[in-house]
Amino acid sequence: MFKKILVANRGEVALRVMRSAREMGIKTVAVYSQADVNSRHVEEADEAICIGPAPSNQSYLVIPNIIQAALQTGAEAIHPGYGFLAENAEFARACTDNGLKFIGPSPEAINKMGNKSIARETATAAGVPVVPGSPGAIETVDEARAFADRVGYPVLVKASAGGGGKGMRVAVDADDLQKQWDAARTEALAAFGDDTVYLEKYLLRPRHIEIQILVDQNGKGAYLYERDCSVQRRHQKLIEEAPSVALTPERRKEMGEAALQLAASVDYEGAGTVECLFDQDGSFYFMEMNTRIQVEHCVTEMIVDRDIVAEQISIAYGNPLSFSQEDLSIRGHAIEFRINAEDPRKNFQPSPGRVTRFAVPGGYGVRVDTYLEAGKDIPPFYDSLVAKLLVWGATREEAIARGKRALKEFHVEGIATTIDFHYAALDRPVFETGEVYTDFLEKEMGDWDVE
Select from 7-15, 81-89, 196-204, 427-435 the region that touches ligand MV4 (CB under 6 A).
Answer: 196-204
- The reply on whether position 277 binds ligand MV4 by CB under 6 A is yes
Which residues, listed in sequence order, are joined to residue 80 by a DSSP beta bridge? none
- The reply on whether position 12 binds ligand MV4 by CB under 6 A is no
Closest to ligand MV4 by CB, 136 or 219 = 136
- The reply on whether position 156 binds ligand MV4 by CB under 6 A is yes
- The reply on whether position 131 binds ligand MV4 by CB under 6 A is yes
| Shortest Å distance, C-beta 184 to ligand MV4 | 12
CB–CB of 110/89 below 8 Å? yes
Residue nearest to ligand MV4 (CB): 438
> CB 266: neighbour CB atoms within 10 A?
21
Distance CA 124, CA 136 (A): 11
- The reply on whether position 199 binds ligand MV4 by CB under 6 A is no
- The reply on whether position 128 binds ligand MV4 by CB under 6 A is no
Q: Which of 255, 241, 245 is nearest to 299 (CA)?
A: 241
Residue 402 has phi, psi (to 5 degrees) of -70, -35
- Give Cα separations from 172 to 43, 107, 141, 243, 280 (angstroms): 54, 38, 15, 33, 19
| Shortest Å distance, C-beta 124 to ligand MV4 | 15
Select from 1-9, 48-56, 199-207, 263-271 the region that touches ligand MV4 (CB under 6 A).
Answer: 199-207
| Shortest Å distance, C-beta 417 to ligand MV4 | 22
| Shortest Å distance, C-beta 441 to ligand MV4 | 9
For ligand MV4, the binding residue among 3, 150, 235, 443 (CB under 6 A) is 235
- The reply on whether position 208 binds ligand MV4 by CB under 6 A is yes
CB–CB of 271/195 below 8 Å? no
Residues 308-347 that bind ligand MV4 (CB under 6 A): none
Q: Please give the size of the binding site for ligand MV4, defined by CB under 6 A.
A: 14
Closest to ligand MV4 by CB, 53 or 129 = 129
For ligand MV4, the binding residue among 77, 119, 287, 387 (CB under 6 A) is 287
Select from 12-20, 202-210, 318-326, 398-406 the region that touches ligand MV4 (CB under 6 A).
Answer: 202-210
Q: Which of 292, 306, 338, 402 is catalytic?
A: 292
- The reply on whether position 389 binds ligand MV4 by CB under 6 A is no
- The reply on whether position 203 binds ligand MV4 by CB under 6 A is yes
CB–CB of 321/214 below 8 Å? yes
- The reply on whether position 295 binds ligand MV4 by CB under 6 A is no
For ligand MV4, the binding residue among 2, 32, 84, 202 (CB under 6 A) is 202
Which residues, listed in sequence order, are joined to residue 393 by a DSSP beta bridge? 333
Query: Quick one: angle between helices 107-114 and 116-125, nearest 10?
Result: 100
Select from 52-60, 177-185, 200-208, 350-358 the region that touches ligand MV4 (CB under 6 A).
Answer: 200-208
Active site residue 396: no
CB proximity list for 80: less than 8 A, separation 6 or greater? 8, 9, 86, 88, 91, 102, 103, 104, 292
Would you tell me which residues interact with ligand MV4 (CB under 6 A)?
131, 156, 165, 200-203, 206, 208, 232, 235, 277, 287, 438
Which residues are marked as active site?
292
